[in-house]
């Protein structure tokens, strides 16, 4: 199965409600789709969103990196030698993690098709079922409480509560949500780098003193404030999870050595693909550090790849935040991963099992 050509598309899916964090507000999923054609007529699918506020990647930079640097290296390569293919992707250009992730997802999809197995089985196997949380966007207290109640009524038992706008108001948000759903759902708090270390400690100690025990606090401080992250770890009971502070295995190991995080959030776009994400998971497992699998606001092409990875590394990836298909009005991707409320299941179709993608469009003129 040799690579003969690559193609691009654009996929959009409107969100049920705007996705709001301390960093940004987004109203629709909008992905560059990267397709790899082969001499066996198999097609591999990958995708990547623009995440400029987090990784620095835009749609323009993703397309440019894929078209000008990654694709020329892939033409003529044999998918059977996946390690070589991923090495070519990773070595094609510095940075540009989203583009590399899109290319790796497509290559791994083809690898699964080559062997006639769903991807998770080739990555290590596991039970093909997960349970995800769902995000409660930062908003007015009344809106967040209403969203939390609705999520519980839809069957979600863990809520990712977005915070980081104002520390004192964040306390009020958490108290109100806890009062509404505490007997029905765990609260995972995510400040998206919105607090200082002292603010984070103030918020969490206040909540803890009020009898509120969050399951975790995610990235309470700026990504490069490792000292602040460590300070929070040392001064609260709530487990601290690093997100934007960890893009690769080396950074994960540094945080573990510093004891600056209890949990590490792995995302394919941050890591730059499936192979570097696996490296992060394996480093964390060796050092007995739990992981979460997360995603950007991206289509279920990329989210499905993350599902396969999480199943294959379920011994260390024990928390799941792969809710974007549930945040959209509809899921345009029909593959081997089924998203049904909090439940996620994989069927036996090979690779990512993508049969069709509704509404896949050509790249807009400024990207074509």
Q: Which of 20, 162, 230, 319 is catalytic?
A: 162
Other residues' Cβ atoms within 10 Å of the Cβ of residue 232: 26
8 Å CB contact between 37 and 5: yes
CA distance 67 to 74: 11
Residue with the two structure tokens 């949990």? 263
3-state SS, one letter per residue, for 2-37: EEEEEEEEEEEEEEEEEEECCCCEEEEEEEEEEEEE
Active-site residue flag, 267:
yes
CA distance 231 to 259: 10
Active-site residue flag, 165:
no
CA distance 63 to 49: 11
8 Å CB contact between 205 and 36: no
8 Å CB contact between 164 and 189: no
Q: Which of 20, 267, 270, 319 is catalytic?
A: 267
Which residues are designated catalytic?
A: 162, 267
């Amino acid at each position: 199965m040799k690579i003969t050509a690559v193609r691009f598309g654009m996929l959009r899916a409107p969100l049920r409600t705007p996705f709001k964090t301390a960093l940004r507000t987004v109203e629709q999923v909008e992905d560059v789709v990267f397709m790899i054609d082969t001499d066996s007529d198999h097609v591999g699918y990958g995708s990547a969103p623009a995440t400029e506020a987090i990784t620095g990647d835009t749609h323009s930079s993703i397309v440019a990196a894929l078209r000008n640097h990654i694709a020329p290296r892939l033409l003529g390569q044999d998918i059977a030698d996946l390690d070589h293919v991923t090495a070519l992707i990773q070595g094609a250009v510095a940075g540009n993690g989203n583009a590399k992730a899109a290319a790796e997802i497509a290559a791994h999809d083809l690898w699964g098709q080559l062997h006639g197995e769903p991807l998770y089985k080739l990555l290590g196997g596991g039970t093909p079922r997960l349970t995800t949380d769902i995000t409660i966007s930062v908003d007015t207290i009344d809106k967040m409480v209403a969203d939390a109640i609705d999520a519980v009524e839809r069957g979600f038992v863990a809520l990712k509560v977005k915070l980081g706008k104002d520390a004192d108001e964040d306390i009020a948000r958490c108290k109100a949500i806890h009062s509404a759903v505490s007997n029905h759902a765990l609260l995972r708090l995510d400040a998206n780098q919105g607090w200082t270390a002292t603010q984070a400690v103030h918020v969490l100690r206040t909540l803890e003193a009020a009898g509120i025990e969050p399951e975790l606090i995610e990235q309470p401080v700026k990504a490069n404030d490792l000292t602040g992250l460590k300070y929070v770890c040392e001064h609260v009971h709530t487990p601290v999870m690093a997100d934007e502070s960890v893009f690769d295995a080396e950074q994960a190991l540094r945080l573990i050595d510093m004891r600056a995080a209890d949990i590490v959030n792995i995302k394919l776009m941050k890591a730059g693909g499936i192979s570097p994400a696996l490296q992060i998971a394996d480093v964390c497992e060796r050092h007995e550090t739990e992981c979460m699998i997360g995603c950007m606001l991206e289509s279920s092409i990329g989210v499905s790849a993350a599902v396969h990875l999480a199943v294959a590394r379920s011994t260390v990836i024990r928390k799941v935040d792969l809710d974007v298909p549930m945040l959209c009005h509809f899921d345009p991707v029909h593959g081997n991963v089924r998203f049904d409320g909090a439940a996620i299941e994989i069927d036996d179709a090979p690779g990512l099992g993508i049969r069709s993608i509704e509404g896949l469009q050509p790249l807009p003129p400024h990207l074509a």
